[in-house]
Structure 1
C-alpha cells in the first residue's frame, strides 16, 4: 500500500499570524518559544505552521539575504520553533510571505506600480501605509528565491506554505512593460476591454507569470528538499485581477487557503477546493476571531468553530485554525 503523505493524516493544524513590525522596542520582546509550543501541544495540534517572515518583510531568523526583525535581537526563533515542534512529534510547515514592506521601502525599483504611477503603500486594500508589494518580474524574484534557499538549507521541515502569490492590482512597472513587449510585441493595454485581443493576451500573460514565479519557488525548494510538500494560499478564486488560474491552483500538492465566509460560501469553497486539489484532502484555514483576523481579541464561539470544523471534514477537507500573536510576542 502506498504510504500516505503527511497532510493526508493531519487533522489538527494551526497557524499563528505574526505580521509584526519592529518600530517599537516591545515588539517580540516577550516571545517564549517553549510556551508557544506547549500551547500547541495542549491543543493536540499535529501540524504547526511556523512564520519565517510576514507581509512586513522582516525575517524571524538570522538571514543573510534580507532584514531580521530587530525585536528578536538575533534570536533564531524559527529554529527554536521548528526544532521544538519536532520534539513534540508535530509536522512542521514553514510559512513564507511574498509581500515585503521592507523590500518595497528599500528597493523602489522593485515596486508594483499602478497605471497612475503609485506604489501599493499608497492605496492597497484601503490601508495606506501598510502593504508594500514588490513585482516578481523585477529582481525581487531573485531576492525571494534567495530566502527560500536559506530556509531549505538551514531548517528541518515537512512543508513550505507560500502566501500572497497574486496580482492584487494591475502592474505597470518598467519590468512588466518590458517583459510584455518582449514576449508579445505589444504595449500593456491602458483600459479594460474584453473585445480587445491584446487585453486578453495581457490577462493570459499575468497568469503565466504567476505560474512561472510559483514554479521557480517549487523547483528550487524541491531541488534542496525533495520530500517537501509545497502549497500556496489559494483563498482567491480564479479571476482576471488576481491572475490565479486553475493550473496555478493545481500546482500545489494540496489546495488550501484562509477564509472568512458565511455558511453558503463555506460550502462552495470546500466543494471547489475538493474538485481542484492535486492531492486530497484539501485544506481549509479559518481564524478563531470574530468576525475576522482584524478583531484579535474577539473570539468565535466553540459551537461556531465546531460547525466549521465538521463542515470541512464532511466535504473531504482538513481544518486548521488561525490565531494571532500579540505584538509583544505573547
Structure 2
C-alpha cells in the first residue's frame, strides 16, 4: 500500500485524534507501548482506556508517525488464495480466452464506492500466454478518517491464472492487500470462469475449489512454498532475498530418517528463526520432505521498500 497522505509534522487533537486511535487497524499493543514509554500504566489495560489517556494528553509528531506506520504495516502484508477448476479443452489458450472487450472497471468498479481502479489494467501473457496469464491492478481508496482531512491510500492486487495437471485444470491465484482488492480479484476470477463456461471450455456444473493446506502432500507443500519464496512469480516480478522464519512439525505416524530421528518423540512443533533457513538440511534434503509438515514460512523478497511474504 502506498499512503499518499503525508502525516509527518501534523498534530491531531480532540475528536480528530480520537477518530484515528479508534481505527480498527490501530492495536491496543501500539497504544500501550506509547503510554508505558511515557510512564503511564493503566489498570484495565483496554484500548479505550489508552485512547482516553492519549487524547487527554495529546501525542507528538513522532508518536503519530509510529501509529500511522503500524496501520500501514498491518494493511500492506499481502494475502493469497488459490482456487482450481476442471477444464474440458486441453488445447485452450488462456490469453486468447480473454474477451476483447474485457474492462476491469465494468466488471468490478461499484457505483458510489470508496475506491477507484487506477488506469485500464488488462491480462498479460506470460511466455506465449497459452498456459499462463496475469493481471496486476491498483486502486485508490478514499477514507474519511475525520472531518478535517481526507486519507487517500493505494493498494495493489494480482490475479494469476495457469493451466496445471496436464492442462486439465485451471488454477487461479489471487493476492490482495485490502478488502477492496480481494473483492475485485474475486469478481474477475468469477467473470473469467463464467466466460469459459459460456464457451463450453468448462462444464456449467463445475465449481471453483479452494486450494487448502490439506490438499498438498508434504513433498508438494515444501516445493510449493519454496517456489513461492525463491523464484520469480511470472516474468521476474519478484526476486528472492531470504527466508527468516519457518515452522514445521514431524508427520504424525511417520518413521523419521536417522538424521532427524531425534524429533520422533521429543518434538511436536519446531520454529526456526534466522537467516538463509531454506538452505538448512531440513529442506535441502528431499528425502526429508514426506516426513515434515511445513505450515508456515516468512520470506523476504527484494523490493524497493521493506516487505515480506507470509
The structure with the greater share of residues assigned to strand is 2
- What's the TM-score, normalizing by structure 2? 0.31
